[in-house]
Structure formats: structure tokens, C-alpha cells
A and B are shown apart, each in its own frame.
Chain A
Amino acid sequence: MKRLPSYAALLAYIVFLAFPLVWLLSTALKTPQEMAQLDPTWIPREPTLANFSDAFGEQDLTGAALRSLVVAIFSSFITVLISLPAAYAMARYRSLVNRVAIGWVLVSQVFPFILIIIPLFMVLRELELVNTLPGLVVVHVTFTLPFALWMLQGYVRAVPPELEEAASVDGAGRLRALVSVVAPLLAPGVVATLLFSFISSWNEFLFALVILQDPDVMTLPLTLVRFTGPEGVARLGPLAAASLMATIPSLIFFAIIQRRLRSGLMAGAVKG
């Protein structure tokens, strides 16, 4: 068969991409007794869901997940709320600001974080926002904003200005034209941006690491990293279970935007 080499290569890729995921799942389904045994196997001997409920039972993890949820909800809504008017302005009034904003999107993606994080930490310290969730929300909003703005202005641009003008001519005020004509057309874009901002915040580790040093206020990524304590392997099962659960929001997001990803529209969109 002519295509055999292609299939062999494809299989190799599938194995490479899948095996750590399968191992994570396998670890999440193992009992503590099995974890302690030598020569771990792919298939758990007695698969159990106990690790998932154990992870929920951990005070630290549940609290951290709730804090992450609060931070992500506030960050995403505030981000969309303040970037919506700006995105509208960027799309409708072409100007220098536009180019500067796009430039800033690029710069914010590639700059060494340390240059910003030190002075940012000092500013937040002056504002008494270190070790607080509002402090983290402020930072997440600031750093999701450029990309959210860029995403949203693309959606605004896709709404023809003529539609808006036609509504105005029909006697609707400018504001009513915006609310009744533009807003419904923008809704999918707003939802996508909202989801993107939510995921960015939910997954974010670095700023949280610097800003939240007190274990009582830590978000989920930080708590997961601190999770494996001196007890060692016995806690790996619940850790794997919690890690899987922490991935669910992102998986939902990517399932929704899959189609756009394929067409390459989102290429380079989400920083790895």
C-alpha cells in the first residue's frame, strides 16, 4: 500500500500526543494502594473515581477553584465591558490609535514579563492590592485587554456600517441603532471574547504566583503546584483528578471555537 508510511507517521504522532494524556487519566483512576506499588501499569487494576471526590474534599483545592472562578468571572466581564466601546472606536474610526493598539498587542505578547512584573508588583503594593483577589483581577484585565480588543474589533468590522446607518435613517437614534442592530450581530463575538478572557484568567499562573503569596488566597493553578506534599505518591491520584477537572473549562472553550481554529483564523491567537 502506497500510503503506509503516511499512516505509520500519523500513528506515531497520535501516540506521542496522546500518551501523557492517557497516563494522566490512568493515574487519576488508580487507588492509593496501587500508586504505591512498583511497576505501574497503563490500565488501573481496580479503576476508581474516589480520587475525584477526594480532590473535592480537599479544603485547599475547592477553595482555590472557587477563587479562580470568581477571579475569572470578574476579569472576563470587566475586560469585555471596557474593551467593547474601544473595539467599536477602533473598527469605525480608523486612525493612528488603531495602529498603536495593534502594535501594543504584539509587544504585550513578546515582552519579557519580568520587566513589567516588578514595577507592577510595586504599584499593587502601594495600592494595598498584593495578596488580594481584586489585585489579580486588575492584572488579568490589563493583560487580556489588548488581545480581547483585537478580537472584538475584528467582529465589529464584520458588521457593515451601512446597516447602522440604515437604521439611523429609518428614524432610530444612534444609540438605538447600536442596541437593536449592531448588538445582536456582535453577540457571538462577545461570547467568544468572554470565553477567551475567562480561560486566560482561569489558566494564568505567573502573575498569580507573584501577586498571591498567601496560601489562603491562592488560585487553582498555584494550589495545584503546591499540592504534592511530603506524603508523595499517595497524593498523585487526587492531583491527577484535580488537574483533569481544572482543564474542563478550556476544553469547553476549544470545543466551541474548533471550527474557527481549523480555518486558521485564530492562528497565533492564544499564547502557548
Chain B
Amino acid sequence: MTATATRPSPPKPRTRRGGGGSRRNREMWVLMLPALVPVLLFSVGPLLYGVGLAFTDARATRNRDVSFTGLENVYELFGDADFWSSFKIGLIWSVSVTVLQFLAALGLALLLNQNLRFRGVARVLAVVPWAMPPVVIGLMWKLVYHPDAGILNSMLGTDVNWLADFSLALPAIIVVGVWTGMPQTTVVLLAGLQSVPKELYEAVEVDGAGRWRRFWNITLPQLRPVIVAITSLDFVWNINQFGLVYVLTAGGPGGQTRLPMLFAYEEAFRYRFFGYASMLGVAFAIVVLAVLGLYLWRQMKEAK
């Protein structure tokens, strides 16, 4: 921003095609309009309306008087044990999936960056989860975990109903979360690895640095911006996860895998508390903004 402001402006590049700035402006708006209308009407508008709804007692029922209730939904949310339990589950889920996903992806990216045989097989496989519809991923893992027809029990010689077990359901879906999200993180990290300048490695090779030293002193610091970016995004995506877990467990057993968005969905479309569920949305929007704000703040600090 400041760079463009201080640079001496070239002589009127904007009117190059003739017609003056206002005509160009009008042209731009005409071209943007068809895209702008649906976005404003069906996403920006509803988003703002949703924030408003959070401060009302709105229910799903039509033509019912809705009244402004101020911060009542906030108090109710903070006093709701079910909310706190889903918040806790959401954090456990999101942190574990993000961390495991990152570690697994980093390992895979490092392997794929070497000149190994069968690398191609792993490369193709690493993209497949990304290409699958989330619903199909959920159903596929349900087949793996199936108590009678599933392969997992037969391989381990166990007789466990994985997705219905109070203590095993959450770890079981975390594995699925890692499997699902790992490819994308791998691709991003691999791109990061490939952009590390080769000269840096050559320089330490002269010093006779071992593999680990090279990894700790060069690869990791060079990758840091990419790592911070992808883990922040992964965390946010994971905490907003819905479809995959809805298919796998629908939040059960006994709410043990009820992630925040599953909780919000139930409040809205099962118990019909539109206002209350919107407040939940606002709360999580704040969490998301905080994480992204932290990320942007760090980026700015580093840029200085």
C-alpha cells in the first residue's frame, strides 16, 4: 500500500483505453453485477441477518413474533453444559486432527521429496482422499469400523463396535479426520519443501552437517511460514467440521463425538432454536477470527 503511494504515478495510465475513469468504473460494475447480486443476496445478507438473529428468541416456526432479547442467548450459552461439552470435544478433535495431520503430512512430504521408488503410487494415493466426496469417505470408514462386516475387527481379532463405544468413538473419528485432511496438507508442505533454495543445503553440506541438522537448521525454519499458514487453516476447518462426522456417528454415542457444528445443527433444525443456534455461530466466528487474527498478526510482525 505505502509502496504504491510513494511511487511517482505514471502519466494517466487509467485512461489508456480512452473514455475516462468514470466510464471504466461503470463498465467494471456492470461486469461485476451478475456475480455481486447472488453473493450479496444469499451470503453476505444472510450472514449479517444471522448475526442479528443471535440476539433474538427466533424459532424455526414461521410467522411467529420474534423479539430482541439482547444478551440472553449469550448467558444461556455459557450456562449450557451441553455447549461446553461440545466445545471441549471440538477442541480435542480439532487440535488432535490438526497436529496429527501435520506430523503425518510432514513425514509424507519429506518422503515424496526424496528420489524414492514407488513415490508415484504414494503421490496418487495421497490425492485420492481429497478427490472423494466427504459422504463417501464417511461411509467407507463406516464399512471399515463395522462391528460385523468390518475389516478392522477381523484384522485385530477384536469384537468392538468402534463408532458406538463411549471411549473409542472420538479416537476412531480422529483417525478418519487425519486420513481425510492429510493429502491437502501434504501437497502444501511439499510445495513448500520444493521452494527451499538448494544453495542453502549445499552451504551446510560443506560443514558436514548430518540429515537431522539439515532438517532442524534449514528445512524447518524455511518452511515455517507455510507451516503456520496451513496449520491455522486446518484448525479452523477442523473446528467447523460437520459432514464427515455427521455421516460417521451423527454426534453419538451419547454426544461423545458431538462437535460444535453438530450441536448447532441439532439446536437449529431438530429443536428449532434459530436464535440460540445463531449465537453459537457467532461464538465460533469469534474463535475463527481470533485464530486467523493471531496468524495475520504474526505474519505482519515477521514482515517487519
Q: Could you mark each residue 125-141 of chain B with 1 if its beta carbon is under 8 Å from any beta carbon of chain A, else 0?
A: 11111111111101111
Is the CB–CB distance between B51 and A93 below 8 Å? Answer: no
Residues of A within 8 A of B39 (CB): 104, 142, 145-146
For residue A85, CB closer than 8 A to chain B, the reply is yes
Which one of A112, A123, A264 has the greatest number of beta carbons of chain B within 10 Å? Answer: A112
Residues of A within 8 A of B119 (CB): 10
Residues of B within 8 A of A10 (CB): 111, 116, 118-119, 122
Given the complex of chains A and B, what is the CA–CA distance between A183 and B89 in angstroms? 50
Which one of B47, B125, B143 has the greatest number of beta carbons of chain A within 10 Å? Answer: B143
Q: Report A199-256 residues with CB < 8 Å from chain B CB.
A: 202-203, 205-206, 209-210, 221, 224-225, 233, 236, 239-240, 243-244, 246-247, 250-251, 253-254
Of chain B, the residue at the smallest CB distance from A99 is: B1
For residue A35, CB closer than 8 A to chain B, the reply is yes
Is the CB–CB distance between A270 and B184 below 8 Å? Answer: yes
Q: Could you mark each residue 1-15 of chain A with 1 if its beta carbon is under 8 Å from any beta carbon of chain B, else 0?
A: 001001101100110
Given the complex of chains A and B, what is the CA–CA distance between A7 and B111 in angstroms? 9
For residue A180, CB closer than 8 A to chain B, the reply is no
For residue B67, CB closer than 8 A to chain A, the reply is no
Of chain A, the residue at the smallest CB distance from B42 is: A142
Interface size class, chain A: 35 or more
Interface residues in B, total, Cβ within 8 A = 97
Chain A nearest CB from B171 CB (Å) reads: 15
Given the complex of chains A and B, what is the CA–CA distance between A16 and B103 in angstroms? 14
Of chain B, the residue at the smallest CB distance from A17 is: B125
Q: Could you mark each residue 78-114 of chain B with 1 if its beta carbon is under 8 Å from any beta carbon of chain A, else 0?
A: 0000000000000000000000000010011001001
Chain B contact residues: helix, strand, loop or mixed:
helix
For residue A20, CB closer than 8 A to chain B, the reply is yes
Residues of B within 8 A of A97 (CB): 28, 32
Is the CB–CB distance between A9 and B107 below 8 Å? Answer: yes
Of chain B, the residue at the smallest CB distance from A90 is: B32
Q: Could you mark each residue 163-174 of chain B with 1 if its beta carbon is under 8 Å from any beta carbon of chain A, else 0?
A: 000000000000
Is the CB–CB distance between A27 and B116 below 8 Å? Answer: no
Beyond A111-B47, A112-B284, A123-B42, is A225–B125 a contact (Cβ under 8 Å)?
no
Chain B nearest CB from A202 CB (Å) reads: 7
Chain B nearest CB from A164 CB (Å) reads: 10
The stretch of A38-46, A53-61, A186-194 in contact with B is A38-46
Is the CB–CB distance between A115 and B132 below 8 Å? Answer: no
Is the CB–CB distance between A267 and B38 below 8 Å? Answer: no
For residue B228, CB closer than 8 A to chain A, the reply is no
Residues of B within 8 A of A85 (CB): 30-32, 34-35
For residue A89, CB closer than 8 A to chain B, the reply is yes
Is the CB–CB distance between B53 and A93 below 8 Å? Answer: no
Chain A nearest CB from B98 CB (Å) reads: 12
For residue A149, CB closer than 8 A to chain B, the reply is yes
Residues of A within 8 A of B70 (CB): none
Chain A nearest CB from B197 CB (Å) reads: 16
Is the CB–CB distance between A112 and B28 below 8 Å? Answer: no
Residues of B within 8 A of A90 (CB): 32
Is the CB–CB distance between B261 and A114 below 8 Å? Answer: yes
Residues of A within 8 A of B146 (CB): 233, 236
Is the CB–CB distance between A86 and B31 below 8 Å? Answer: yes
The 8 Å CB contact of B28, one of A40, A82, A89, A239, is A89
Beyond A239-B139, A247-B132, A271-B237, is A114–B187 a contact (Cβ under 8 Å)?
no
The 8 Å CB contact of A118, one of B151, B190, B268, is B268
Of chain B, the residue at the smallest CB distance from A38 is: B148
Q: Could you mark each residue 145-166 of chain A with 1 if its beta carbon is under 8 Å from any beta carbon of chain B, else 0?
A: 1100100000000000000010
Residues of B within 8 A of A89 (CB): 27-28, 31-32
Is the CB–CB distance between A110 and B236 below 8 Å? Answer: yes
Chain A nearest CB from B293 CB (Å) reads: 12
Beyond A14-B125, A39-B154, A250-B132, is A113–B278 a contact (Cβ under 8 Å)?
no
**B interface with A by C-beta (< 8 Å):** 17, 24-25, 27-28, 30-32, 34-36, 38-39, 41-47, 49-51, 53, 62, 104, 107-108, 111, 114, 116-119, 121-123, 125-136, 138-141, 143-144, 146, 148-151, 154, 179-182, 184, 187-188, 190-192, 194, 230, 233, 236-237, 240, 242-243, 246-247, 260-261, 264-265, 268-269, 274, 277-278, 280-282, 284-285, 288, 292
Extra contacts besides A35-B149, A239-B139 (7): CB < 8 Å: A9-B107, A19-B144, A89-B28, A97-B28, A205-B135, A243-B136, A247-B131
**A interface with B by C-beta (< 8 Å):** 3, 6-7, 9-10, 13-14, 16-21, 23-24, 26-27, 35, 38-42, 81-83, 85-86, 88-90, 93, 95, 97, 104, 108-120, 122-123, 125, 138-139, 141-143, 145-146, 149, 165, 202-203, 205-206, 209-210, 221, 224-225, 233, 236, 239-240, 243-244, 246-247, 250-251, 253-254, 258, 261-264, 266-268, 270-272
7 tightest A-B CB contacts, nearest first: A264-B191, A115-B281, A86-B35, A119-B46, A89-B31, A203-B133, A254-B131
Of the A-B pairs whose beta carbons lie under 8 Å apart in the complex, a sample of 14, sorted by A's number, is: A6-B111, A10-B119, A13-B108, A19-B151, A23-B144, A39-B154, A110-B292, A145-B39, A149-B35, A233-B146, A240-B140, A240-B143, A264-B188, A264-B190
